[in-house]
Amino acid sequence: VNEAEQSVSTQSPVLFSTDRLASGNCIQHTAGTANFTLTCPGVYLIQYNANVEPDSGSNVALSLGLLSGGSVIPGSESATTVASTGELGSMSASTIVTVPCGTTGTIALSNTSGETTKVTKHPDYQNHVASSCSSKQLASYTDASCFFC
C-alpha cells in the first residue's frame, strides 16, 4: 500500500511502502520495494487499483501493467488519457497467474507508458496489488492458502 504520491519513470516499477499481507507465507514482499514473490505453486488472482496523473503535458496517454519476469502479463494492462497535469485518471485490472510446481513467480506493477507518471492511492482501494491463491476451482478465490505438489 502506498500512502504518498510517487513519480514513476517510464517502464519503471511502482514501489510499495507498506505491506498488508494478512497471513501465510505464499506471498512475500519487502516494504519499500516493487516485487511480490509468489512462493507456492497455485493459481493466483492478482488485482491492482491506482490513481495516475501525468508529470507534465496535456492529453497524455498513461498506462500501468503487471510484470512477471520483466514482461507484461497479457490482460493486466490498463490505460487512460489524462487531459492535463492536476487531473487524475483511475486505473485497475485483474489477471490470473499460475505458478507451476517447483517454481516461484515474481509480480510487479509498472508504469508501462511512455511518460513519467505520478501514482497515488485510489481512495477506495488504497493503491495496492492484491492476490489470492486457490487450490480449488478457478472461480473460488476465498481460499488464501496454496496447494503443494
pLDDT tens-digit profile of 121-140? Answer: 766 544 445 454 443 333 33
Please write the tens of the pLDDT for every residue from 40-89. 998 888 888 889 999 888 999 999 999 998 899 999 999 999 998 889 99
Alpha-carbon distance 59 to 84, whole Å? 6
Distance (Å, whole) CA 111 – CA 63: 6
Write the DSSP symbol of residue 34.
S
d(CA 52, CA 68): 22
Q: Tell me the CA distances in angstroms from 26 to 21, 117, 128, one per residue in order.
A: 10, 30, 17
